[in-house]
Amino acid sequence: MLVVEDSKVACLLLVHLLESDPRICVIGSVGDGEAALDFLKNSRPDVVLMDIHMPRLDGFEATRRIMETQPVPIVICSANMDVKDTAIVFRAMEAGAIACIEKPLRRGHEHFEATAAHLLETVRLMSEVKVVRRTARTGRPASAAAVVSGSAGAAQTQRAAANVKVVGIGASTGGPPVLQTILAALPKDYPVPILIVQHIADGFLPGMADWLNQTTALQIHIASYGTQPLPGHVYLAPDDFHMGIGPGGAIVLTREAALSHLRPAVSALFRSLAEVHGPNALGVLLTGMGKDGAAELKLLRDKGAVTIAQDRESSAVHGMPGVAIALGGASHVLAADAIGPALIALTKR
């Protein structure tokens, strides 16, 4: 793999951490995006670990150029920043980066071990992802993924189109660009609210909300307790809070125990939707490591709800949706760019 990091101290730490895993081999490290482009002319690493703020060529522009010319899996690795800076991170993901992770801080920091372990796990998984060249004009993949339709019949789809009251979406590794693709396909007058749990490093959620507000027609919010969700609005679960719907239909945030070491957890959202809305909910499970939300997507389907899982071909990591499909939890299995149009058809008034 290649490490792109302008701080020599941070670069040494990252290389040391990465090479502590015998399954990872660092074949080079460079100090800016321009040097990364030069390196890739002669070598092809399985994955690139990319900083954002660097001299000569920053991480966003370097990602854009790499994905247009010699695509390779790119993982953005950056320290917590303010909203403007994290928005750049998500622009890089729009340009083709497939994951965003927090940069491990100094040894001895309370979150160092967890952050370092997440770095190693993400790099290992992303090294196996197949990426495609992005077009220079749009930043979209040069060829769209095909749709894989599920087993739900036309009658079920028509019933869902008349009855859906809320859409719940869960995502983890590789999720932000897929969410952007889905939400950008929806009109600003989308007839139901959308609740989203995205596993993401602390501090990056405001930047993601800002990026989605700028790149989609919907109104994006970080959820607040007691808010009555509105059609055409999207509510993101805040850092370290489970999100669900209360009996009166308002958003509920809790600090209840983590589920599978996760808070927020997709499982908590889907379970809430199954209890409150049952067949009138619509659940979507996207790319991600592990199995968060998989059993609960099956619960939603058992309650009569329409459920969608992202297909293997368009998933950065087919963990969560793959488990849901294996459990029989998905009434539809769709490529990333087919999910938005499906949500329109399934909720048409």
Nearest to 178 by CA among 286, 262, 97, 100: 286
pLDDT at 138: 46
pLDDT at 137: 47
Whether 311 sits among the annotated catalytic residues: the reply is: no
Set 32, 78, 199, 314: catalytic member: 199
pLDDT at 150: 43
Q: Can you tell me the distance from the alpha carbon of 90 to that of 96, in angstroms, rounded to the nearest whole number?
A: 10
Set 172, 272, 314, 331: catalytic member: 172
pLDDT at 235: 98
Set 292, 314, 331, 332: catalytic member: 292
Query: Does residue 45 have a cis peptide bond before it, meaning omega lies within 30 degrees of 0?
Result: no
CB 208 within 8 A of CB 164: no
Question: DSSP assignment, residue 318?
Answer: B
Can you give the residue ranges of every domain in the chain? 2-126, 154-346
Residues 6+ apart with CB under 8 A from 108: none
Say yes or no: do domains 2-126 and 154-346 share a fold: yes
CATH topology of domain 154-346: Rossmann fold (3.40.50)
CB 332 within 8 A of CB 307: yes
pLDDT at 22: 94
Q: Which two tokens stand for residue 209?
A: 């909300």
pLDDT at 153: 44
For domain 2-126, the question of CATH label 3.40.50.2300 is answered with yes
List the strands of the sheet with 332-334, edge to edge. Answer: 219-222, 233-236, 194-198, 166-171, 281-285, 306-310, 332-334
Q: Classify residue 278 as exposed, middle or buried by CB count within 10 Å of its CB (0-12, 13-18, 19+).
A: middle
Whether 292 sits among the annotated catalytic residues: the reply is: yes
Whether 172 sits among the annotated catalytic residues: the reply is: yes
> How many CA within 13 A on the CB side of residue 315?
23
Q: Which amino acid is at 330?
A: A
Mean pLDDT by 10 residues, the chain (349 residues): 95 95 96 96 95 92 93 87 71 88 76 88 88 60 41 46 88 94 97 97 89 95 98 97 96 95 96 97 96 98 97 93 98 97 89
Q: Can you tell me the distance from the alpha carbon of 127 to that of 240, in angstroms, rounded to the nearest whole number?
A: 28
Q: What is the pTM of this model?
A: 0.87
